[in-house]
Amino acid sequence: MSWATDAYAAIRKIVLLEDRMEALADRVDMLAKSFGELDRRLIRLEAKFELLERMASASRRALPEKSEK
């Protein structure tokens, strides 16, 4: 009877381990999606800052110099 109990315990551990692995895989998928979203948002912010820098540097060059009269 001991071998049956041991076999049952081993099978139960395997099933529980499989459930934990599935839950972990789901979490990893969720984190990957979150990372992708954050990466996309960061790229948009970088593009906005680059545009602001270009606009600021262009307006500085466009200002006429003061004339001494």
User: What is the tally of helices (H) and strands (E) in the chain?
Assistant: 1, 0
Instruction: Report CA-CA distances (Å) from 32 to 19, 23, 28, 56, 59.
Output: 20, 14, 6, 36, 41
Diameter of the chain by CA atoms? 110
29 contacts: CB under 8 Å, gap ≥ 6:
none
- Between CA 35 and CA 58 the distance in angstroms is 34
Q: Give me the chain's average pLDDT, please.
A: 89
- Between CA 22 and CA 14 the distance in angstroms is 12
Prediction pTM value: 0.58
Mean pLDDT throughout 28-48? 96
Per-residue pLDDT at 56: 86
